[in-house]
Chain A
Amino acid sequence: MDALVIGTIIKVVLVLLIVSALAGFGTYIERKVLAFMQRRLGPTHVGPFGLLQIAADGIKLFTKEDIIPQHANKFIFSLAPVITAATAFIALSAVPLFPTFVIPESLPLIGGAIVPSVIADVNIGILFVLGMMAAGLYGPLLAGMAQANKWGILGSARTAVQFLSYEVVTGLSVLAPIMLVGSLSLIDFNSAQAGGIGSWIIWQQPVAFVLFLIAGFAETNRTPFDLLEHEAEIISGYVTEYSGLRWGMFFIGEYSNMFTVSILAAVIFCGGYGDLGFIPGSLALLLKVVFFFFLMLWVRASWPHIRPDQLMWLCWKVLMPLAVVNIVITGIVVMI
């Protein structure tokens, strides 16, 4: 096998392991940050600083009884969480995670393998990632409809409403940067901003950046757009009947989507894994991703969530016109 194939396989395993671990760690961070913002302690008892809480939760989820409601469509009911988790991971395959590196020759078996920055550098990277995340909406949609529960139906109706409308804004908001860079590959985006902070696209496209963030929040189902499973209104929405491992897969999917959106925001608008002064590239990307992740938690602690009609209003009457205007202006500027 040639070096690149081995490297890619290593990368796949790495991404799978790291991201599922990060998804678990994300829940811990989320609970801690929310707790501190509300002047509480968060998890403290299991392990040092409550760190092993992740493991405890994992064991709990894995060993729970697997319940499928009587009138549910069993096949679709079991398929839906897989869709969410799988699409979330597939989306990550076209996202650059670290700079390309070569494993030193001295290591046995895998020595000399080239680990690429992207698992699959498809030349339509952004479209692929966005498409995969959009395909992920079949997870909540099917889950809600298969479980024979009225809260589930409501949840999936909201899924359709929310994801479909925000897909438009996401697409339109990245269109302007795409016009500037002239490529759909995330690698090209990265190299286009290689000239340090000054060359970040965020300075040329602040509106597109804000729109992308808002749409990203809606697509990852975060506050203030967490209508899909808002407890006070529709119990748990599309996950009402789920428990144990299946529920955990929804969770992993959601958290990896959060990471994907954070990485996308960092790569498209904030220079990706380009070196940042004395900070090496991979660390810089990590810092940016951590910041965007923190932003999601921060917003969740601060802002109330909005009604479905307000959500639609915001999307179709405010964000989409703004995005279109932004594209038109970008187009004119690019032409001149």
Chain B
Amino acid sequence: MHEEIIHTENKPKEKQNYVMLDLGKSPEFGLPAFKQVVKRSLNGELFVGLWVTLREMAKTLFMGGKHTTKYPMEKLPISPRYRAIHNMLRLLESGHYRCIGCGLCEKICISNCIAMDTRYDENQRKEVSEYTINFGRCIYCGYCAEVCPELAIVHGGRYETASEQRASFSLFDDMLTPIDMLKQQQEFQGFGSVSPNADAAIKKTPLAY
């Protein structure tokens, strides 16, 4: 047994005891082998195993220690960095879509799956007349979201994307925040943001060795 001091932020904080199992060499035959069999048979390790499962069962039944997430009914929060089906955001004040039709996302898309077209509207302003993403080809690289100057196109959290029509997700109006949901519109947290349950989900492990 030897002790190791775990350094976090350059100062020793936690002590952790690592136990090295000293099993030794197994005797091959004769009296020593027989003794080992007797010792191992009688020292009750098997009952330790039984106790562990029984304890877990009691925990599961009476202390609510189940690990199961009933998936379609319950969902774990996903990280804001997760790159799923895109969202097109709206301006918070006017409710107009943010996209200015600059075409940068179309240009940078490495699988060439964004198709867009623009025209002048009656006020001689540029408007997006067509905008679709072919999700059969999109590799969810996130370049489009990164390049967008207006934070108009971002990745959303819709990962359940089984459907009969690929058009179910990919039209501009499908991706656009519904106008009545404008209040709930989620701003892009930025690259490197952590998921809301990060603290609960992460165990303390030593960073330095």
Contacts and interface: CB of A to CB of B under 8 A. Distances in A.
Do A and B truly interact? yes
Interface of A: 33, 36-41, 44, 298-299, 301-303, 318
B50 A36 contact: no
A246 B67 CA distance: 35
A318 B59 CA distance: 36
A36 B61 contact: yes
A238 B189 CA distance: 56
A37 B67 contact: no
Interface residues of B, number: 18
A37 B53 contact: yes
Interface of B: 37, 41, 46, 49-50, 52-54, 56-57, 59-61, 65-68, 70
Contact of B57 (A36, A44, A299, A318): A36
Contacts of A36: 56-57, 60-61
B70 to A, nearest CB: 8
B57 to A, nearest CB: 5
B176 to A, nearest CB: 36
A37 B56 contact: yes
A318 B41 CA distance: 10
A301 B61 CA distance: 16
Given A303-B46, A318-B37, A39 B53 contact: no
Contacts of A40: 60, 66-68
Contacts of B68: 39-41
Contacts of B67: 39-40
A318 to B, nearest CB: 7
Given A39-B66, A39-B67, A40-B67, A33 B46 contact: no
- Ordered nearest first, which 5 A-B pairs have the shortest CB separation? A302-B49, A37-B53, A302-B53, A36-B57, A36-B60
9 contacts: A33-B57, A36-B57, A37-B56, A37-B60, A39-B59, A40-B67, A298-B50, A302-B50, A303-B49
Contacts of A37: 53-54, 56-57, 60
A209 to B, nearest CB: 16
A182 to B, nearest CB: 32
Nearest to A40: B68
A69 B111 CA distance: 47
Given A39-B60, A39-B68, 9 more contacts: A36-B56, A36-B57, A39-B56, A44-B70, A298-B54, A301-B53, A302-B46, A303-B49, A318-B41
B199 to A, nearest CB: 22
Contacts, number: 40
Nearest to B67: A39
Consensus secondary structure, chain A interface: helix
A305 to B, nearest CB: 13
Contacts of A301: 53
Given A39-B66, A40-B66, A40-B68, A302 B52 contact: yes
Contacts of A38: 56
Contact of B65 (A39, A44, A298, A318): A39
A1 B66 CA distance: 57
A66 B68 CA distance: 35
Contacts of B41: 318
B164 to A, nearest CB: 25
A41 B53 contact: no
A299 B50 contact: yes
A298 B59 CA distance: 15
Contacts of B65: 39
A36 B59 CA distance: 9
B29 to A, nearest CB: 11
Nearest to B58: A36
A37 B57 CA distance: 4
Contacts of A318: 37, 41
Nearest to B54: A298
A40 B68 CA distance: 6
Contacts of A302: 46, 49-50, 52-53
A38 B61 CA distance: 11
Given A36-B57, A318-B37, A41 B66 contact: yes
A37 B66 CA distance: 10
A260 to B, nearest CB: 23
Contacts of B54: 37, 298
A319 to B, nearest CB: 11
A39 B59 CA distance: 8
Contacts of A44: 70
Contacts of B37: 318
Contacts of B66: 39-41
Nearest to A41: B68
Contacts of A39: 56, 59-60, 65-68
B71 to A, nearest CB: 12
A238 to B, nearest CB: 28
